[in-house]
């Protein structure tokens, strides 16, 4: 049977310290960026001004966004009622609602040939409050703990589950680093992307771990380094083809999906790429390093 990708024979274990160094440098860059720049928190976390308007004729979001951008207004825009009614949300404090709303109205007046009326003006609080944030963090920690127990049960060793969780944290942190460096807005859509990355990462890792386990059964006396390299090389074709399919779709979304999906697609792209890397270079090599301390 013809293979799309030829069988490889890469010594991943031998290159483990190079991989660890790369991840260490990326982590350091992320810590520096988060310390200096932090996150550009979206309206879901900060709250802000909501203005609802209705045009006489159907209008395009692109023309409204262009008018707002020309006025220096960074807004989230939603449309309904046959592209006549729009809600425009802008981050800000409760005491400057009227100032921001008036700025939006002045910008919308530059959309020629389409008059509008204001239907609603108010301050909207953050969707994600402190209590919800605490519950979300607790749920994530609990799920990570569950992954460790599940993988430890399947492999009769908690080290495998722990390295899988480390790979997840690695992938999510790299995605957050990119968002911080680029100043991209962190909202609930991006949070959904981060959770998807976590699921994608652990799924890919468990596929590799399963292959290692099967190889252990068929070659019980084979050294661990050889077992890991054999399993990784045997599954590399599957990993690359599957990931290429996902990355192709995400690239299309990133290029043609518009501003609303751009940050989501970027986050997923980074997560998928780091998911491949962490599975091959981090999770399995951490298992080897742990089992061979000092070597």
Q: Tell me the two tokens of residue 149.
A: 């127990």
Residue whose C-alpha is closest to residue 85's, from 111, 63, 107, 52: 52
d(CA 253, CA 4): 25
Q: Is 194 a member of any domain?
A: yes
- Structural domains counted in the chain: 2
Q: What is the DSSP string of the chain?
A: ---SSPPP---TTTTHHHHHHHHHHHHHHHHHHHHHT--EE-HHHH-EEEEEEEESS---HHHHHHHHHHTT---EEEEETTTTEEEEEEE--GGGHHHHHHHHHHHHTTSTT--EEEEEEEEE--SS-HHHHHHHHHHHHHHHHHHHHHHHHHHT-HHHHHHHHHHHHHHHHHHHHHHHHHT-EE-HHHHHHHHHHHHHHHHHHHHHHHHHHHHHHH-TTS-HHHHHHHHHHHHHHHHHHHHHHHHHHHHHHHHHSHHHHHHHHHHHHHHHHHHHHIIIIIIHHHHHHHHTTT-
Residues 217 and 191 in one domain: yes
Query: Which tens digits make up the pLDDT trace of 228-271?
Result: 898 888 888 888 888 888 899 999 989 887 777 888 999 999 99
Q: Is 86 a member of any domain?
A: yes
Residues 134 and 120 in one domain: no
CATH of the domain at 190: 1.20.1640.10
CB 146 within 8 A of CB 162: no
Has residue 282 got a pLDDT over 60?
yes
- Name the domain boundary from 69, 102, 124: 124
Residues 163 and 105 in one domain: no
Residues 194 and 281 in one domain: yes
Residues 73 and 207 in one domain: no
Has residue 278 got a pLDDT over 80?
yes
Residues in CB range of 144: below 8 A, 6 or more apart: 165, 168, 169
CATH of the domain at 52: 3.30.70.100
Average pLDDT, the chain: 83
Residues 35 and 96 in one domain: no
d(CA 23, CA 144): 20
CA-based angle 212:216:222, to the nearest 5?
A: 110
Residues 109 and 161 in one domain: no
Average pLDDT over residues 98-113: 84
Greatest mean pLDDT among 136-145, 157-166, 252-261, 279-288 lies in 279-288
- Name the domain boundary from 103, 124, 145: 124
Residues 160 and 287 in one domain: yes
Q: Is 213 a member of any domain?
A: yes
Residues in CB range of 146: below 8 A, 6 or more apart: none
Q: Is 4 a member of any domain?
A: no
Average pLDDT over residues 145-166: 79
Q: Is 5 a member of any domain?
A: no
Q: Is 1 a member of any domain?
A: no
- Name the domain boundary from 79, 106, 124: 124
Choose between 294 and 64: higher pLDDT. Answer: 64
Residues 199 and 103 in one domain: no
Residues 21 and 115 in one domain: no
Q: Is 10 a member of any domain?
A: no
Q: Measure CA 236 to chain center.
A: 23
Q: Is 95 a member of any domain?
A: yes
The domain in which residue 111 lies consists of 48-124
Residues 58 and 113 in one domain: yes
Query: Which tens digits make up the pLDDT trace of 167-220?
Result: 888 999 999 999 999 988 888 888 888 888 888 888 888 888 888 888 888 888
Q: How many CB atoms lie within 10 A of CB 214?
A: 12
Residues 89 and 154 in one domain: no
% pLDDT > 90, the chain: 14
């Amino acid at each position: 049977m013809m293979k799309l990708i030829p069988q490889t024979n890469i010594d991943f274990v031998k290159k483990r310290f190079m991989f660890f160094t790369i991840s260490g440098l990326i982590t350091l860059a992320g810590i520096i960026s988060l310390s200096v720049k932090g996150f550009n928190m979206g309206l879901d976390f900060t709250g802000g001004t909501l203005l609802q308007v209705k045009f006489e004729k159907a209008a395009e979001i692109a023309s409204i966004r262009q008018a707002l951008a020309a006025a220096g207004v960074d807004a989230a825009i939603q449309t309904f009622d046959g592209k006549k009614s729009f809600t425009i949300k802008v981050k800000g404090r409760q005491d400057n609602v009227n100032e921001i709303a008036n700025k939006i109205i002045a910008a919308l007046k530059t959309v020629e040939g389409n008059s509008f009326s204001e239907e609603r003006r108010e301050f909207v609080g953050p969707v994600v409050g402190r209590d919800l944030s605490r519950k979300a963090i607790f749920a994530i920690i609990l799920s990570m703990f569950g992954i460790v127990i599940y993988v430890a049960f399947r492999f009769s060793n908690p080290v495998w589950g722990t390295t899988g969780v480390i790979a997840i944290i690695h992938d999510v942190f790299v995605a957050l680093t990119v968002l911080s460096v680029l100043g991209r807005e962190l909202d609930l859509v991006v949070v959904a992307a981060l959770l998807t990355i976590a699921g994608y990462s652990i799924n890919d890792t468990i596929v590799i771990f399963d292959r290692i386990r099967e190889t252990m059964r068929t070659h019980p006396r084979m050294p661990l380094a050889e077992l890991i390299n054999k399993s990784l090389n045997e599954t590399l074709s599957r990993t690359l083809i599957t990931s290429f399919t996902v990355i192709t779709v995400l690239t299309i979304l990133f290029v043609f999906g518009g501003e609303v999906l751009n940050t989501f697609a970027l986050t997923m792209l980074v997560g998928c790429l780091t998911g491949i890397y962490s599975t091959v270079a981090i999770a399995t090599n951490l298992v080897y390093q742990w089992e061979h301390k000092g070597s």
